[in-house]
Structure 1
Amino acid sequence: MAGALIGGAALGVPFNELATLLKNFGERAWSFNSVLNETESKVNDIIPLVKEIDGLNESLDYPREETEKLKNLLEYAGKLLRRCLRVGKADLIRKSSHTEKLRELNARIKSFSDVVLFQTSRDGKKTLSLVTEIKEVVRRLDSKSGLSNPVDLVVTVPVISEESVGLEKPVEKLKAKLFRDGVRLLVVTAPGGCGKSTLAEIFCHDKQVKNKFQRNILFLVVSSKPETKRILISIIQRLGGPIESGSVSDDEAFRLLEVRVGELSPNPVLIVLDDVWDGSESNKLLEKFSRLPNCKVLVTSRFKFPAFGESYDLEPLDHKDAMELFRRWASRGNRVLQFPDERIVEKIVRGCKRFPLALKVIAGSLSGRATSVWEVTGRKLSRGDSILGSEKELQKCLKDTLDAIPDDKIVLKECFMDLGSFPEDQRIRAATFIDICAVLYEQDECETMSNLDELFTRTLVNTVSLRNKAHEDDYYSESYITQHDVLRELAVLLTNEQPVDQRTRLLVDINKNEFPKWWSVRQMQPVKARLLSITTDEKFSSCWPDMEAPEVEVLILNPGSETYKLPDFAKKMNRLKALIVRNYRSFPTELTSDYQLINCLSRLERISLERISISSFIDQNLKPLWHLKKLSFFMCKIDKAFTDCSTQISYMLPNLLEISIDFCNDLVAFPVGLCEVVTLEKLSITNCHILSSLPEEIGQLINLKILRLRSCIHLEKLPESISRLRELVYLDISHCVGLTKLPDKIGNLQKLEKLNMWSCPNMRKLPKSVGNLKNLKEVVCESEMKIWVNFVAPRLGNVVKEHKEEINLDFLN
């Protein structure tokens, strides 16, 4: 019998009474023999676990709700056993009834035993889980340019995302050349689209290379405008040498790098500089790297840089490998694909002149198409040997892929062309592109993402998602689009084919303060573009000449300077609906306030700011933005933007429906004034790593339907007023590792359909009111929390979905 009594703990009395009752059954136990044996066994099993849990709760001052529930259960068990003692031998009816109740009791004890085992396991690994979560966030934080350090560049080797064809021999040749004594720098050269970057990635993953350089392998994308000091400092920091970016010159940074690389000897360092363009800055950069001791430098470029010795010319694929690459890409997404006649395939591959990018793009466009389409494509490519290997020829080849898009999907072509509005080698946030398409094509989020997905299948863009199932929640802040340089050039080339005054999109790239000639010639003559994109560099002075652009509906500004002033001519853009200011450097650009300009943009519907510092968003001189529906801040400094406002925010933003705040790492508390904007339906505060609290006033957002608080790791609690958000349909607190509980009255959210709470290791309990969420259709959590949900609200067991999603960190590369 259960003789191992508990003394001194909170559960001692009910346990001891239950043990005594089991012992007192004596001869009468035969009436319930098998059931009582099971009861005794389960009680004996749970005693040591409960003693440990009860003692830890007492010493750590943890809540006692779990053990209180078990205490109530044991008291009920005592009452039931006393009734069983009173059952006579001949009372078969009561015996049958009480036997069934004892079985139910055993089931309840087992259920609680599972919960106790869960708590013991979870408490044991709580610290490890928390550390793991924080490490993951820190890794993401450190890897994103501009978050943890204003000079950080991504220097990790990209993950190989696809199979390579025909690069085994080039890798061996590179090793033979670069590993030779006396060779410090080697340039891999070829036209765009030949696979230089892919070759460099595979080279870094080669077993012999990894054995030689160990952890000292760095990979940086340089592009056409290299920032020498920023590159040098990023490498120093990656190699373990901290440095203050503002305190050194380029030459001093290089000397520090020389010292750091020398300190690592005899362990050599491999540095890959990818996509280096010709120019004085690039030559200065390579000259410095060519002098680094204990270091091998691999450069990929469309230019040879003869001043730095021998280069390696990457040849196009041989015919066999070209055929294999084409077949693989034409078969992607199709388990069974009937290829046309071999003669047609041969004609297409020869027409692509063995350029890997051309092969991939055209293969993707033909996948699943009729044989007649393949045959027409083969004729076009073979007619007159139109592709001779130059980049212009390649662009013509790729243009044929665009022409193959059917007329009823013309918006796909437009989307492809719009992607040329952003600087090269930049990740374009899907959320930003959604804003563009909402205005120009009246598309919602799903339609835009569907178009991007089709462009992806045609190999005209690349997409990267941090989380595999992010799109299921209509959450796109961590989804990105990238384009190969040649594809971007194609978009720009096709855009610029038309005369300036006939272009539907106008793309302007300004170096220093040198404006294109047509701008000064045309000056007061209006342009007809609906989309205007202006990219400026770090030396731009914000002195704008005038421009007449009355038809512009989307204005994209890509500043690269520390301070930036919006162009005055925007005041005359009476049709402007989307303003996107997107700093493409790592440091935040300080945006000079011009409320008179904003007052002129009466039709503005969407404002999107990226890596922008805002001193104040609301001012007494600002008129109400009646049409503004959406505000987005990404990696911005906004802590003071909505504080000390002299004008009520709700007055200035009377019809705002959505606010998105992502990676804004100076946001400590959500501004109380924004809680007055009762029209809000969507509020996303994600990846704000120092946000610690939400105001009680958030309960005023009575029309809120979606609340995302994903990855706010220092958010400690949710205000009880959240239970007043009666229209809330979706609540996301995933990856909020500091949260310990849900609001007690969360059950008041009668319209809540989805609760996403995975990766909340400190969530110690669920309120009883969770069982009142009658419309809840899905709870996303981990297996441990699933046990708690089943225990607190068994009715919800069938809506719990265990989170097994793997995080995709390819975007960090």
Structure 2
Amino acid sequence: MDAGGAALGAGFGLLLETVKESIDKAVMFKPMLKNIEGTLECLQPLIQDIKGLNMELDLPEGETTDFESKMEQGAMLVAKCSKVGRLKFFKKRRYTDKLLELDQTLKGLIRILQVQGTRDTKKTLKLTRDIHTAFIKDNGGNNRVVYDPIISAVTCGVPQVLPPLILGLDEALQELKMTLLLNDDASLLVVTAPGGCGKTLLAQKFCLDPQVQEKFKKNIFFVPVSKRSPSLSAIVQQLYKQKRQDVPVLINEADATIHLEQLLNQIGGNPILLVLDDVWPASQSLVENFVLFRIPDYKILVTSRSPLPSLGPIACRYELNPLNDKDAMTLFRHWASMEDESSHIPDDVVKKVFCDSGLVCLFFLFK
């Protein structure tokens, strides 16, 4: 018996060893024995985890004892199969059925262990959350939601105020609407451009567009990410707050993912638009957390200085071009002023500024 089989228990080790020894001996049962070997290899890490945790937690072995009993019986069956002669067709059929039944039993054990593992994980998560909630109760017995240092800075509402003069974004706005409103296959769109070209303003303008508002209604969320990215937990808590739901206490990022899926499914009867604005390359994994779920009419708009290559082919991409000189100068005139507060600036002054600085997006200086 190999060390791995012994570590799991006599029953499992005996069955695994017997199957491996019988594959070449019982030629007419070889395909079925190969299948059983593959099933056992899938089962091995699950049983090993259970036995290891039982030892660490000083728990009884009852959960694996039943498994080992079935495997001991299976080992006896395999051993008998290896002794069946090629001409004993009646026995071949009978043992073939029993081997198929053994393989199905082992696969059933895998499913049971996987379900039990998911159940135990959720029980542990619930217990941890309950303990955490108990610790954050104040003396009056009322629960307080504890935020990390940057949660309070996270918002999910769409900025409602647009600049009085916007130029050069109409074509880009139509492209975004074509992709996210009319293309059912597009669920993630990444808008890229250098800093200061108007990505955030374009995303804001898109969210406030009447057609977009009509489709997504109150399910439009605008999350500024920036270089110092908020945690997934912080964003999820603010999404709950935005929807006027009880804000959950989140233990970790896995807990946040579970609650995010619950919220999206809850409001998923209506279209959802999520904007993740100014995502830096280091925060690509944050975006990936939001694209895990397949929900109808769930659209994500990302703005970034980078194309975010790790998002792969699931993302549509649109490159926003900088303003042309004419529009840039018009905006510069609008926001700049002379010492006498006059908005009239001579052409030679404007041209000198643009030629000397080489800047195209100076209108963002008004911020």
> Scaled by the length of structure 2, what TM-score is found?
0.52
Residue of structure 2 equivalent to 1:159: 160
On the 8 A contact 2:268/2:298 being kept in 1, the answer is no
Question: For the structure 1 residues 183 and 302, does the alpha-carbon distance in structure 2 shift closer, same or farther, using more than 3 Å as the test?
Answer: same
> In structure 2, how many angstroms separate the alpha carbons of the residues matched to 1:288 and 1:322?
37
User: C-alpha displacement at 1:333, in angstroms?
Assistant: 9.5
Structure 1: which 5+ runs fail to align?
1-146, 362-458, 463-813
On the 8 A contact 1:239/1:260 being kept in 2, the answer is no
Question: For the structure 1 residues 333 and 253, does the alpha-carbon distance in structure 2 shift closer, same or farther, using more than 3 Å as the test?
Answer: farther
Residue of structure 2 equivalent to 1:198: 201
**Could you give the per-residue CA deviations for residues 175-205 of structure 1, whole angstroms, max 9, x where no partner exists?**
1122321222211111222121111111111
Pairing 1:229–2:233 present: yes
| Amino acid in the other structure paired with 1:283 | Q
Pairing 1:355–2:353 present: no
- Structure 1 stretches of 4+ with a deviation exceeding 6 A read 332-335
| Amino acid in the other structure paired with 1:307 | S
**Could you give the per-residue CA deviations for residues 748-767 of structure 1, whole angstroms, max 9, x where no partner exists?**
xxxxxxxxxxxxxxxxxxxx
Question: For the structure 1 residues 352 and 204, does the alpha-carbon distance in structure 2 shift closer, same or farther, using more than 3 Å as the test?
Answer: farther
On the 8 A contact 2:276/2:302 being kept in 1, the answer is yes
User: C-alpha displacement at 1:243, in angstroms?
Assistant: 3.9
Residue of structure 2 equivalent to 1:274: 277
Of 267, 291, 299 in structure 2, the residue corresponding to residue 264 of structure 1 is 267
Pairing 1:305–2:308 present: yes
Question: For the structure 1 residues 200 and 182, does the alpha-carbon distance in structure 2 shift closer, same or farther, using more than 3 Å as the test?
Answer: same
Question: For the structure 1 residues 235 and 352, does the alpha-carbon distance in structure 2 shift closer, same or farther, using more than 3 Å as the test?
Answer: farther
Aligned length: 212
> Scaled by the length of structure 1, what TM-score is found?
0.24
Of 315, 325, 334 in structure 1, the residue corresponding to residue 321 of structure 2 is 315
Structure 2 counterparts to residues 162-241 of structure 1, below 5 A: 162-163=163-164, 164-179=166-181, 180-226=183-229, 227-241=231-245
Structure 2 counterparts to residues 514-663 of structure 1, below 5 A: none
> In structure 1, how many angstroms separate the alpha carbons of the residues matched to 2:339 and 2:291?
44
Question: For the structure 1 residues 235 and 345, does the alpha-carbon distance in structure 2 shift closer, same or farther, using more than 3 Å as the test?
Answer: same
Residue of structure 2 equivalent to 1:242: 246
Structure 2: which 5+ runs fail to align?
1-143
> In structure 2, how many angstroms separate the alpha carbons of the residues matched to 1:265 and 1:325?
40
Residue of structure 2 equivalent to 1:345: 350
On the 8 A contact 1:184/1:291 being kept in 2, the answer is no
Question: For the structure 1 residues 259 and 349, does the alpha-carbon distance in structure 2 shift closer, same or farther, using more than 3 Å as the test?
Answer: same
More helix by share: 2
> In structure 2, how many angstroms separate the alpha carbons of the residues matched to 1:234 and 1:184?
22
> In structure 1, how many angstroms separate the alpha carbons of the residues matched to 2:349 and 2:207?
37
Percent identical pairs in the alignment equals: 35
Residue of structure 2 equivalent to 1:285: 286
Q: Which has the higher contact order (CA 8 A, sep 6+)?
A: 2
Question: For the structure 1 residues 359 and 238, does the alpha-carbon distance in structure 2 shift closer, same or farther, using more than 3 Å as the test?
Answer: closer
| Amino acid in the other structure paired with 2:209 | D
1:284 is paired with a residue of what secondary structure? Answer: helix
**Could you give the per-residue CA deviations for residues 603-662 of structure 1, whole angstroms, max 9, x where no partner exists?**
xxxxxxxxxxxxxxxxxxxxxxxxxxxxxxxxxxxxxxxxxxxxxxxxxxxxxxxxxxxx
On the 8 A contact 2:324/2:360 being kept in 1, the answer is no
RMSD, aligned α-carbons? 2.7
Question: For the structure 1 residues 352 and 168, does the alpha-carbon distance in structure 2 shift closer, same or farther, using more than 3 Å as the test?
Answer: farther
On the 8 A contact 1:317/1:354 being kept in 2, the answer is no
Structure 2 counterparts to residues 62-461 of structure 1, below 5 A: 150=147, 151-152=151-152, 153-163=154-164, 164-179=166-181, 180-226=183-229, 227-246=231-250, 248-279=251-282, 282-292=283-293, 293=295, 294-308=297-311, 309-331=315-337, 336-340=342-346, 342-351=347-356, 353=358, 355-356=360-361, 358-361=362-365, 459=366
User: C-alpha displacement at 1:242, in angstroms?
Assistant: 2.2
On the 8 A contact 1:193/1:355 being kept in 2, the answer is no
| Amino acid in the other structure paired with 1:157 | V
On the 8 A contact 1:276/1:299 being kept in 2, the answer is yes
Question: For the structure 1 residues 238 and 319, does the alpha-carbon distance in structure 2 shift closer, same or farther, using more than 3 Å as the test?
Answer: same
Structure 2 counterparts to residues 670-681 of structure 1, below 5 A: none
